Amino acid sequence: MILHKNEAEAYKMAHAIFSDFQARNIEAVLQEKTDLQLLPDYTLLVVLGGDGTILECAHSLAGNDIPLLGINFGKVGFLSSIEPDDWPSVLEKLIRQNYTLDKRMMLDVEIIRNGQAFHLGKALNDAVIRSQVLHIITLKLSINGSPYAIYRADGVVCATPTGSTAYSYSAGGPVLVPDLEAVAVTPVCPQLSCSRALIVAADTKLELTVDSEYGAGIALDGKKEMDLINGDQIIIGKSSQTISFVRINTTPIMKRIRYCRSRIS
């Protein structure tokens, strides 16, 4: 399936890719990014767009075996596998199955409110708890049931290795290589300089409790999911589901960061 963002260049290339597949007797479906409906017999999802488009589409792949090939039509392109100019050589590699699959971990997020627990959703990049007003909030962090830290900050980012180059990185968090089984916990503008980022094993149970009368909210992968109230507990852990990205060229993450910096500078 070929899916593209609503942009002239992406539209043009999507149709060119569609023609390339047809010329090789490979069945393909072409779709502009709207409601993504994947069928079990799809073998590949090709997404033409930026990180936001790819991230949105990736959620549709959770829990199935359809890999994603991202072609960068954005400014950064951390989630992209290739650039548009790479396509002619990539097509042949796809046909010969000369590629690898990167399985990316996801996070499961649960909310406990007034003793009632419910599943909020999954995140490929991050779960972000932030103040909704121009005031810091207090978040109490427990690790595997043991109190660890109290953050007085604008918020806290809990990021997977995939998301470590996104908001967490902007907030001063560490870069984690994609195949690392870990989670980065990064406070956003903490009041005390001793509040540093933390890396924990992927199977760690993180619990953040809201202890603030100021408005707070939680977002998964950049989408606002719900408002939080004082006393809410956010439980974050590793999901049993993964998402597979097609990797044609194994570019080291630090080289990718340098490249992305040059694109936006």
Catalytic residues: 51
Cα–Cα distance, 42 to 144 (Å, whole number): 39
Instruction: Confirm if 129 and 139 have CB atoms less than 8 A apart.
Output: yes
Q: How big is the CA angle at 157 (ends 219 and 134), to the nearest 5 degrees?
A: 75
C-beta pairs of 252-260 under 8 Å, 24+ apart in sequence: 253/165, 253/175, 253/177, 253/178, 254/175, 256/78, 257/165, 257/175, 260/76, 260/77, 260/78
Longest dimension (CA), the chain: 62
